[in-house]
Amino acid sequence: HSFSGAFKPTMSGIGSLCSLALAIRLCLIGYGVWQDHHFLVKYTDVDYQVFTDAARHVWEGDSPYERLTYRYSPLLSYIILPNVF
């Protein structure tokens, strides 16, 4: 049997899926911000703050290891750079 016609993703289908994924992510980010401001138990944990602080050090031209509790790959601090903005 040939599967060439059974599943052929289209650009509009992929675009719709990416749009849906983005919308869900933005909703979760919004909920996280809301929960962090209104509840005692935070949506984000301490590791998130460590990652973001390390990314901030990278943005400022320093080593991510300037954050004393950062024990992860330096690549992660570069991936997390959008958190700084």
- Which tens digit of pLDDT belongs to each residue from 47-66? 888 999 999 999 999 999 99
- 8 vs 59: CA distance, rounded Å: 41
8 A C-beta contact, residue 32 and residue 51: no
Question: Which pTM does this prediction carry?
Answer: 0.55
Percentage of the chain with pLDDT > 90?
51
Spatial separation of the C-alpha atoms in residues 73 and 45, rounded to whole Å: 19
Spatial distance between the Cα atoms of 51 and 56, rounded to a whole number of angstroms = 9
Question: What are the φ and ψ backbone dihedral angles of 65, each rounded to 5 degrees?
Answer: -75, 0
3-state SS, residue 61 = coil
Across the range 28-43, mean pLDDT stands at 86
In the predicted structure, residue 5 carries a pLDDT above the cut 60: no
User: What's the pLDDT at 85?
Assistant: 81
User: Which amino acid does the sequence have at 40?
Assistant: L
